[in-house]
Structure formats: structure tokens, C-alpha cells
Amino acid sequence: MKLEKYTVLIFILGVFFSSCKEVSFKEPQPAGVAALTSIPQGLQGWYQAGDKNDQKDTDTLIIESWGYHFKDKDDKDWLGRGTLSDSLVVKAYQDYYFVNFRSGNQWVLRLVKQNANGSFKFMSIDIGDDAKRKEMLRKMSKKFKVTEITKESDTFYQITPTKEQLMQLIKEGYFTGDELTKIK
């Protein structure tokens, strides 16, 4: 399987492999916004994930009212599923969906911005490489207290923004990501 396929899927699931480095939060974001009890109808559907140029090597992200799961090209479920719970919290605020994954006592955030055609952009604060991480943390430390928390092989850079500060981070381009195409 191709690396691009795994990049998108790992990004989506918030799966943590060795030496994970993430911006994290003390509580699901945005703070003070109620969690959804089900995924909205407009976001439910089947989305193509993986290499869009190679139709033989794509997977399908299926979002349902209760959460999500994946099917491979052979129509088999894989990588498990995410169910709305105390470890997967989704919130809606100002035309975004905030997908919060619990990792121990930290919350990792993914941002969903749906397009008019039904596809969506799936974003995070990318601090994967050393140069990008140092620059991003330098910029964020001017706005927030950044607390470094290391647990086993994972390192979290925890911030505590208000709703308004979180929206400002989005507007300033801190969140980047990939687009997933709605296919059904």
C-alpha cells in the first residue's frame, strides 16, 4: 500500500505511532461549546481517502450518525471505528466541526471544514518535522503558555485557548490538511 494512503488515514484517526508529537488541549475544543450527540446528516456519507489518482488503492471513510469506520477496496472493514463517546467528542462552531480524540489525559484536535460540494478538508496543527515544530511553537508561545508533556514516546505541547483564540489560530493558517472527496 502507498504511503499517501496511510498518511491521510492516520491523520484522520489520530492514531499514534512511535514518537508522536502533537499540539494538545486539556479539554475538548472549543472550550465551552456543547458536544454533539450524533454526527449531523450533512456530514454523514462515504468519502474517498487515499491516493485519488490510483482508484485501485483507495479506501472509503464512512461517517454515520454514531461515528466513523473504513472499508478497503475489497469492501472489508479495517482500522476499527470511532464511536462518539468520552474519548471521541465532536463539536460544531462557526462552520467547523471540531473532532477531539482523547490520548490519555490529553485531547488532540482535528478540524473539519465542509465544502459546498460535500467534500471536506480535514486539518490539524502540523508539527511533524523539527523545523516546523520549533517555528510553530515559537509563534504559539507568544499567544499562549505552551506546556510540554512527555508520556512514553509521545510529546504533547498543550495550550489552553479561548474559543476566540482558537478561531484566530484557524484564521491565521495554523491548521492545514487534506481534502476528502464525498462519493456517496
Domain map (residue ranges) of the chain? 3-182
60 or 80, higher pLDDT = 60
13 or 116, higher pLDDT = 116
Cell of 111: 478540524
Cell of 148: 510540554
Sequence-distant (≥ 6) Cβ neighbours of residue 90 within 8 angstroms: 35, 36, 39, 84, 97, 98, 99, 100
Spatial contact of 5 and 58, defined as CB atoms under 8 Å apart = yes
State the pLDDT at residue 117. Answer: 87
Cell of 44: 454523514
Identify the weakest region by mean pLDDT among 25-29, 52-56, 68-72.
Answer: 52-56
Alpha carbon of residue 124 to chain centroid? 6
State the pLDDT at residue 29. Answer: 96
State the pLDDT at residue 25. Answer: 94
Q: Which helix (H) or strand (E) holds 179?
A: strand 175-182
pTM of the full predicted structure? 0.81
pLDDT in tens, 79-137: 567 889 988 999 999 999 999 999 888 999 999 998 888 888 889 888 877 788 888 88
